[in-house]
Structure 1
């Protein structure tokens, strides 16, 4: 069996969760020696499609016409499309209708969590759906003095200064507004947001937050990867992710894998795999401030329990789950 991993518009999506997810799929399949390609012109038996554009639809139809199996990856839902781009809330119902064309036509759907599976099922989709985590490469994360120094040097962090980081697109859904409100209540702490979105496609309110309406202790660092980002994951004092909706959250896995103190919004996607034993959960600005103060004072330390969660979703485990789904679909 040879698998085609497909990502349409890779240059545009490479900074997004979907762009990172397909890289995770490649690494996972390498772990178990599964034969795969990313070139649609190659021969293959099954295509694992990660995007929803016109070329993805064409590929699906052509593959099935030629007797090949098609798996759609359920990265996207109506719920996580809302509160993102300009007019996203107005067109969200249409977006769901559009997604359902792909989900209904596929031979199977892979989605990261039981929560995202339940959302797709609630759309009336009868296609078989398999929850498989995006996975995490444990060896890439964790304490590393050289990477942590690269992080501190890049941002000019002074000795003893407390630093809270986040990573995500410039979306209200990601909680960028609450991130700034929390920073306002903690002026002695440095807050750094990694990630970016083209400012032309985000609402004016979000552009104002990023460009000028944030306190001096907040830094919007843009898209940074490699040693600086990985050093931030382990070298910060906390990872604070106030996202209101996720299908899983790769950056959450990265934080847990880094043995970082993790503060999250208490939302349904984490049910069954992250709880108060492995992260500090809160629901509003005051709750986030309280949780971060517990972490920064040393009162709360759940890093080892969080790391165990990351271990349960490591690439070696995820790869076997992916291949099992591929084999099951090939037998249909």
Structure 2
């Protein structure tokens, strides 16, 4: 059994969650001793596709014509496409139709969470849909000595202030407006948002937010993975104010790093219990109140309980799960 991880669109998505998902699949398959290739010209039995660009869909057609099995990994939905780029809400219905067309190319569809599976089931894809987390590399996402000092020095943060970070594109869906508002309300803390997006692609309110001139608000842009690891390790609180996700790999990273975490209370994270494994907030006022309580030690740290959730999604376990799915797919008549 040999698997092709379709790689032609990787450079386009490498800085996104889909790019990280592909990276994770590669490592997971290595850990599970699955024979795989990134070269579409190699011989293979199963093609695993993560992207929905026209080139990806055309390749699925070619692979199917050549008698190969197709695993289509559904990372995107209409719901998480909305509230992203300019005109994304208007385009969303068309995008959904395209997703349906693309995902139906698969002999089986994979998606990261029960929540995203429920959404996809509403699309009437007429395909088996299995849940496989994108997983987390527990070997990489670990604290190291000197992380806090390096983090504060690299971004010129005030050593006398505690720090709050978040990670994501400059889009409304990721909660960037609330993050900037929190920075305005809480000048006693440093705020750092990692990630970026061409501002020509976003609405004016997002542009204004990113250009907000505050001494305690920082936008370093896209950074290397080890710099991000340092940030999780060296900061005092990770806030994830996202409005919609299919999983949220950055949340898995924060859990793995044993970071104190505050997320928006949305349906996808109903399996994470507020006050047990993680803290949650629904409104900007709740985010403000809980941020202060966490940072001022008025709420207990949940780092160890949160780490247990990351352990459940280790890449070793994901590799075993993928291997099982591939084998079962090949055994079908």
Q: TM-score range by the shorter chain?
A: over 0.9
Measured against aligned partners, the alpha-carbon deviations of 1:120-158 in whole angstroms (never above 9, x if no partner) come to 001112211111110011121232123333212201233
Task: From the superposition, tell whether residues 5 and 171 of structure 1 become closer, same or farther in structure 2 (CA, over 3 Å).
Answer: same
The answer to whether residue 277 in structure 2 is matched with residue 243 in structure 1 is no
| Partner SS state of residue 322, structure 1 | helix
Distance in 2, matches of 1:214 and 1:275, equals 33
Moved more, 317-326 or 108-117: 317-326
Distance in 1, matches of 2:137 and 2:213, equals 34
| Partner SS state of residue 139, structure 1 | coil
The answer to whether residue 214 in structure 2 is matched with residue 215 in structure 1 is yes
The answer to whether residue 270 in structure 2 is matched with residue 271 in structure 1 is yes
What are the equivalent positions in structure 2 for 1:1-332 lying under 5 Å apart? Answer: 1-211=1-211, 213=212, 215-273=214-272, 275-300=274-299, 301-332=301-332
Task: From the superposition, tell whether residues 321 and 274 of structure 1 become closer, same or farther in structure 2 (CA, over 3 Å).
Answer: farther
| Partner SS state of residue 135, structure 1 | coil
- Give the C-alpha shift of residue 258 in structure 1: 0.3
Distance in 2, matches of 1:142 and 1:165, equals 17
Could you tell me which runs of 5 or more consecutive residues in structure 1 were left unpaired when the two chains were aligned. Answer: none
Task: From the superposition, tell whether residues 185 and 19 of structure 1 become closer, same or farther in structure 2 (CA, over 3 Å).
Answer: same
- Give the C-alpha shift of residue 214 in structure 1: 5.0
Distance in 1, matches of 2:170 and 2:7, equals 22
- Give the C-alpha shift of residue 58 in structure 1: 1.4
TM-score normalized by the length of structure 1: 0.96
Distance in 2, matches of 1:194 and 1:86, equals 21
Task: From the superposition, tell whether residues 309 and 267 of structure 1 become closer, same or farther in structure 2 (CA, over 3 Å).
Answer: same
Task: Report the number of matched residues.
Answer: 331
Distance in 1, matches of 2:181 and 2:205, equals 14
Task: From the superposition, tell whether residues 186 and 256 of structure 1 become closer, same or farther in structure 2 (CA, over 3 Å).
Answer: same
Distance in 2, matches of 1:116 and 1:276, equals 24
- Give the C-alpha shift of residue 103 in structure 1: 1.6
On the 8 A contact 1:170/1:195 being kept in 2, the answer is: yes
Could you tell me which runs of 5 or more consecutive residues in structure 2 were left unpaired when the two chains were aligned. Answer: none
Measured against aligned partners, the alpha-carbon deviations of 1:151-171 in whole angstroms (never above 9, x if no partner) come to 122012333320000000000
TM-score normalized by the length of structure 2: 0.96
Give RMSD over aligned pairs. 1.3
Distance in 1, matches of 2:328 and 2:26, equals 19
| Partner SS state of residue 41, structure 1 | coil
Moved more, 275-284 or 44-53: 275-284
On the 8 A contact 1:141/1:234 being kept in 2, the answer is: no
On the 8 A contact 2:57/2:105 being kept in 1, the answer is: no
- Give the C-alpha shift of residue 232 in structure 1: 0.7
| Partner SS state of residue 171, structure 2 | coil
| Partner SS state of residue 247, structure 1 | coil
- Give the C-alpha shift of residue 275 in structure 1: 4.3
Distance in 2, matches of 1:106 and 1:256, equals 32
| Partner SS state of residue 89, structure 2 | helix
Moved more, 215-224 or 108-117: 215-224
